[in-house]
A = this chain, B = another copy of it.
Amino acid sequence: MTTLEDVAKHAGVSLATASRVLNGSSRHVGADLRRRVESAAARLGYRVDATAQTLARGASNVVGLVIQDLIDPYFAVIADGAIRAADRHGMVTTLGTTYRDPEREIALVATLHAQRARVVLLAGSRVADEAVLRRQRAELDVYRSAGGRVAVIGQDVLGTDTVAPRNREGAYDLAVALAGLGHRRFAVLAGPPVLLTAIDRTQGFVEALADLGLPPPLLVHGDFDRDGGRDAACRLIAMDHDVTCVFAVNDLMATGALAGLREHGVRVPRDLSLAGFDGTSSIRDPVPSLATVRLPLARMGAMALDLALSGEGVPRHERVTGEVVLRDSVRPLARTPSVPSAPPVPPASSVPSAPAAVPANRSAASPGARPPHS
């Protein structure tokens, strides 16, 4: 293992000079010595010891990135964006995976703290559990009081820099767009009841329907992943309802729902329209292609890093907007199902006769419709 001292000796210079040549000191070094040091370093195969640099400088070049699941394209794309950004800053990324366990997330922050990561990025939905949040804040406080910077991609509930997707507004817009296609009875595959992302998206959707004068959607909870979507879809099918359009609160669930529906012979979009949320490119290829709300995921990863690195005193927030993307999985519905030909879904309805038609529908569903929250 070649050290800087070896290089200095072979070049016939002092340690300090070798250091100045090989590591970005702004100090100038004579061309001759510089050449000698460089050639010695190359000849000996010298590689700086970043851990020693970290110790000496009191600051590392590692970004700690905590995600929930690397297999989920949502996190893979965010991670890709963050890693590219770190690379641009000349930093390396240490990646940890929680597998959706908040306790593991806390442990990972401690690990990254031990690693002396300069910044920690936490990607993924926060939970609506004050006890968990308290423990997370405590670990983050320890890290920050030691000089660490933190940014969260998700909800601003930990008092950190935050990149927050407009989940509520995106779901609202989506509902408006779907209602604009003539749908009036919806189901929401709503994810776990404690996941803030799932909650926000569900609420935004519900609010939009209320604002449009439409009946509230059927809520079916389930895990936030592919199998959760599949299960929820199966349970939906087993229910007695007159739903024509289903909103799965993330793309993974939508993908699973599509599979589940197909297994039961329910055709999308002919029997049921279906939409997801996130805009991962993985849902471009299922047939039918899935409607969704597209988030700028890679950019979110990069933004989080930039936020954390440029951070001063007060935590700052960046909100990012999702774009409604309608695709083959949703189809327009005739406004009034008065014609008995080809009723979209099972016959009976659990809701009496739906309230009178909503004339404001189409105008409210126009592209100009505003989301509820600033």
Bitwise, A89-115 to B at CB < 8 A (1) or not (0) is 000111111000000000000111111
Hey, which chain B residues are within 8 Å of A259, CB to CB? 284-285
A77 and B83 in contact (CB under 8 A), knowing A51-B60, A111-B92? no
A94 vs B258: C-alpha distance when bound (angstroms): 36
The answer to whether the Cβ of A142 comes within 8 Å of any Cβ in the partner chain is: yes
Bitwise, A72-92 to B at CB < 8 A (1) or not (0) is 010011011001100000001
A55 vs B217: C-alpha distance when bound (angstroms): 59
A60 vs B114: C-alpha distance when bound (angstroms): 12
Q: Is the CB of A45 within 8 A of B142?
A: yes
Q: A265 to chain B: closest CB distance in Å?
A: 14
A112 vs B4: C-alpha distance when bound (angstroms): 17
A110 vs B147: C-alpha distance when bound (angstroms): 28
Q: Is the CB of A114 within 8 A of B1?
A: no
Say which residue of B49, B80, B83 sits within 8 Å of A116 (CB atoms). B49
A50 vs B79: C-alpha distance when bound (angstroms): 24
Say which residue of B55, B93, B141, B142 sits within 8 Å of A95 (CB atoms). B93
Say which residue of B48, B95, B281 sits within 8 Å of A114 (CB atoms). B48
The answer to whether the Cβ of A145 comes within 8 Å of any Cβ in the partner chain is: yes
The answer to whether the Cβ of A235 comes within 8 Å of any Cβ in the partner chain is: no
Hey, which chain B residues are within 8 Å of A255, CB to CB? 285
A97 vs B47: C-alpha distance when bound (angstroms): 20
Q: Is the CB of A62 within 8 A of B94?
A: yes
Q: Is the CB of B51 within 8 A of A55?
A: yes
Q: Is the CB of B50 within 8 A of A116?
A: yes
Bitwise, A134-161 to B at CB < 8 A (1) or not (0) is 0000000111011100000000000000
A146 and B94 in contact (CB under 8 A), knowing A55-B55, A71-B73, A114-B49? no
A93 vs B1: C-alpha distance when bound (angstroms): 22
A48 vs B111: C-alpha distance when bound (angstroms): 9
Q: A121 to chain B: closest CB distance in Å?
A: 13
Q: Is the CB of A147 within 8 A of B1?
A: yes
Say which residue of B60, B110, B258 sits within 8 Å of A285 (CB atoms). B258
In A243-269, the 8 Å CB interface with B consists of 255, 258-259, 262
Cβ-closest chain B residue relative to A93: B95
A145 vs B47: C-alpha distance when bound (angstroms): 12
Hey, which chain B residues are within 8 Å of A332, CB to CB? none
Q: Is the CB of B83 within 8 A of A92?
A: no
Hey, which chain B residues are within 8 Å of A92, CB to CB? 94, 96, 111-112, 115
Cβ-closest chain B residue relative to A281: B71
The answer to whether the Cβ of A342 comes within 8 Å of any Cβ in the partner chain is: no
The answer to whether the Cβ of A337 comes within 8 Å of any Cβ in the partner chain is: no
The answer to whether the Cβ of A367 comes within 8 Å of any Cβ in the partner chain is: no
Hey, which chain B residues are within 8 Å of A79, CB to CB? 70, 95
Cβ-closest chain B residue relative to A91: B111
Cβ-closest chain B residue relative to A73: B71
